[in-house]
Structure 1
Amino acid sequence: MLSTTTENSIAQIASQLQSSNDFLAELQQKAATTQRGYAGNVRIFFEYFLQRPPTPRDVEEFWQLDGETANGLILKFKNHLVASGRKAATINRYLGAIKYLIKVGRNLKRCQYHFDSDRIESLKVTKYRDTRGVGVDEYNKVFDVIDTTSTKGKRDYALFLLLWANVLRRGEVAKLTVGDFDYHENTLTVYGKGKGNDETRIDLNPLVAEAISDWLGCRTNVKPSDPLFMALDFHNYGHQLTGDGIYAIVRKTCERAGIKKRMTPHKIRHSGITDALDLAEGDYRKVQHLSRHADPRTILVYEDNKNKYQLELTNKLAARVGKRRNAP
């Protein structure tokens, strides 16, 4: 948890940002989780050098440094993260947060230097290493524990059907409104991940559309601007079901269903894509349209994890060397 001092520091920076019209639009497009992540990463950067939580004055002094000194500190921090064994994606997030902080300072006319991307290079990240999920029989266990006679059960039933059949990301589900759902056309308008506002109209299976309609039928005075999936707990009732809320529902329901693998919304996405590869008989283009991956090569990772091509060849290579090679 952030200290009070750090929270005040971040709050002050945020307040300064709000006064900058040029920067306001970009700030508002960032997801709340990204803002929290940036705040935490910047805090850790300062604490590494100061051995204490940063203050607003520390931020101001960092902005007033010369470029050589500031980038030298950032490079030292990056080397510390590498030596500590942090993953490449984690290190890149820290660097992104610091780069964003410098951009803030420049926008506020408090900072004269740039983040030296040539000197402080981002680390190469291998994406989607583990795309293994669960099989359809294992996933079906969740529907055995969902009570579809209750309001919560109707919501969760529609949610789990949608996550599997359309392999949506939890962030995409969290953005959905009632107006995005067209029951007569069996379609759903989905908005892209990140800060982009691109939208895609996807088709729904009639059974999925029926489940969503059944869930909406439990609600009264529904408006197009209302969240498609809303929270039902006492403190958050009626509010948009957040990405974290969807994550919690998936985790708890899958554990209750006896699924041993640690499940998340993205694991469901992985599982659905892997199953789709079988159903499409290896047609990558079909699966790419379903998953909406920008790069069709990403689907190859799912194919390898599904068929274990790498393990097959590893076993054959291993059988040809070592002490066993001379065995009869």
Structure 2
Amino acid sequence: MNQLSAYTESSITSVAAQMQASNDFLAELQQKAKTTQRGYAGNIKIFFQYFLLREPNQKDVEEFWGLDEQTANGLILKFKNHLVAEGRKAATINRYLAAIKYLIKVGRNLKHCHYHFDSDRIESLKVTKYRDTRGVSVDEYNKVFDVIDIGCAKGKRDYALFLLLWANVLRRGEMAQLTVGNFDYHENTLTVYGKGKGNDLTRIDLNPYVAEAISDWLGCRRNIKPSDPLFIALDFHNYGHQLTGDGIYAIVRRTCEKAGISKRMTPHKIRHSGITDALDLAQGDYRKVQHLSRHADPRTILVYEDNKNQYQLELTNKLAARVGKKRQ
């Protein structure tokens, strides 16, 4: 097999192979969040496929790590230019570059790579922020509750899930990590792993109405333990397994389409919608909304720690009162 340094526009071979990462490399990827791991692995695979026209294997990874700095960064720049020519979005291109940069970092940690990712030569693209963060109105969102049958286990699960997504504006990654032990029905609280906070847990207050819906869902399950997932899959092939972020995404898409919501909905779009509605309810008090969304800088949260629960619960109660079958 030709060395990666020889993979030019006119010198590429095609061989069938399966991607097999080394134990060390896989262990490094396992340190990342599951969604990040999956994304990096896929991006790295496509990077190699562009030059090899086949599935990469561990030998290809080792060869890439063994290149000199100029050749390696030249290949990365060529790949970036290819993505630009394809019309890929800036955020997508930047994710590919981040994955390749991490691949180099892993190689250096394993002492298999002796060069750095040339950030000066291979600049990330400026991302134009998506400005439509309004989501949908509360009246539009309430359509989902008209198509959820709370007389069955699936309906009870989805009902609690949609209430929680709105009233506490949780991210789908946070939802996917919840366990039964994270929920305290007597205190009406939920403990979540916040985005970018490592293993730090944050306790958030629940509206009693939302807590009741979660408890009603758990009442459908038998012999549950604190370590069990709070939300589980109910289909035949995956029954009882943790409902993943992708699973939550699919439920949101499918239910919103069934409800006739015209806008393409995602869990994050619900988060946008809830935050937007909260801004109206708080009459533009961004400090209160930041306590709800947990977007605030940790140092700012410490300053307002005494008032955090009061502000967050106030908005959670107001949001919860606007959705579901018991809405006023």
What residue number does 1:307 align with? none
Q: Deviations over 1:65-113 (max 9, x none)?
A: 1011111211222222223322111111111111111122222222111
AA partner of residue 283 (structure 1)? D
Instruction: Give the whole-Å Cα distance in 2 for the aligned partners of 1:177 and 1:186.
Output: 15
Residue 5 of structure 1 deviates from its aligned partner by 5.2
What residue number does 2:45 align with? 43
What residue number does 1:21 align with? none
What residue number does 2:220 align with? 218
| Structure 2 residues not aligned, in runs of 5+ | 1-13, 299-328
- Select the residue among 269, 280, 290 that pairs with 2:292: 290
Kept in 2, the 8 Å contact 1:5–1:55? The answer is: no
Instruction: Give the whole-Å Cα distance in 2 for the aligned partners of 1:97 and 1:113.
Output: 16
What residue number does 1:84 align with? 86
What residue number does 1:246 align with? 248
Instruction: Give the whole-Å Cα distance in 1 for the aligned partners of 2:197 and 2:207.
Output: 28
Residue 4 of structure 1 deviates from its aligned partner by 10
Q: What's the secondary structure of 2:100's corresponding residue?
A: helix
What TM-score results when the alignment is normalised by the length of structure 2? 0.82
Distance 1:189 1:127, change over 3 A: farther
- Select the residue among 112, 125, 129 that pairs with 1:127: 129
Distance 1:275 1:4, change over 3 A: farther
**RMSD over aligned Cα, in angstroms?**
2.1
Instruction: Give the whole-Å Cα distance in 2 for the aligned partners of 1:126 and 1:144.
Output: 36
- Select the residue among 157, 160, 167 that pairs with 2:159: 157
What residue number does 2:149 align with? 147
Distance 1:39 1:147, change over 3 A: same
Distance 1:275 1:114, change over 3 A: same
What TM-score results when the alignment is normalised by the length of structure 1? 0.82
What residue number does 1:309 align with? none
Distance 1:5 1:213, change over 3 A: farther
Instruction: Give the whole-Å Cα distance in 2 for the aligned partners of 1:210 and 1:129.
Output: 35
Instruction: Give the whole-Å Cα distance in 1 for the aligned partners of 2:153 and 2:30.
Output: 33
Distance 1:294 1:117, change over 3 A: farther
Residue 244 of structure 1 deviates from its aligned partner by 0.6
| Structure 1 residues not aligned, in runs of 5+ | 19-23, 297-328
Kept in 2, the 8 Å contact 1:30–1:195? The answer is: no
Residue 234 of structure 1 deviates from its aligned partner by 1.1
What residue number does 2:24 align with? 16
**Runs (4+) of structure 1 moved beyond 6 Å?**
none
Kept in 2, the 8 Å contact 1:31–1:195? The answer is: no
Distance 1:65 1:52, change over 3 A: same
Instruction: Give the whole-Å Cα distance in 1 for the aligned partners of 2:196 and 2:47.
Output: 24
Q: What's the secondary structure of 1:188's corresponding residue?
A: strand
Instruction: Give the whole-Å Cα distance in 2 for the aligned partners of 1:91 and 1:54.
Output: 20
Q: What's the secondary structure of 1:12's corresponding residue?
A: coil
Residue 271 of structure 1 deviates from its aligned partner by 0.7
What residue number does 2:273 align with? 271
- Select the residue among 238, 256, 259 that pairs with 2:258: 256
Distance 1:171 1:242, change over 3 A: same
Residue 194 of structure 1 deviates from its aligned partner by 4.8
Instruction: Give the whole-Å Cα distance in 1 for the aligned partners of 2:45 and 2:240.
Output: 34
- Select the residue among 106, 110, 121 that pairs with 1:104: 106
- Select the residue among 93, 97, 112 that pairs with 1:95: 97
Instruction: Give the whole-Å Cα distance in 2 for the aligned partners of 1:172 and 1:81.
Output: 31
Residue 195 of structure 1 deviates from its aligned partner by 7.3
Distance 1:5 1:243, change over 3 A: farther
What residue number does 1:188 align with? 190
AA partner of residue 17 (structure 1)? F
AA partner of residue 173 (structure 2)? G
Kept in 2, the 8 Å contact 1:191–1:200? The answer is: yes
Instruction: Give the whole-Å Cα distance in 2 for the aligned partners of 1:17 and 1:45.
Output: 16
Instruction: Give the whole-Å Cα distance in 2 for the aligned partners of 1:4 and 1:77.
Output: 20
Bigger drift between 170-179 and 60-69 goes to 60-69
Task: Give the paired residue count.
Answer: 285
Residue 124 of structure 1 deviates from its aligned partner by 2.4
Bigger drift between 258-267 and 120-129 goes to 120-129
Q: Deviations over 1:153-173 (max 9, x none)?
A: 111111000000000000000
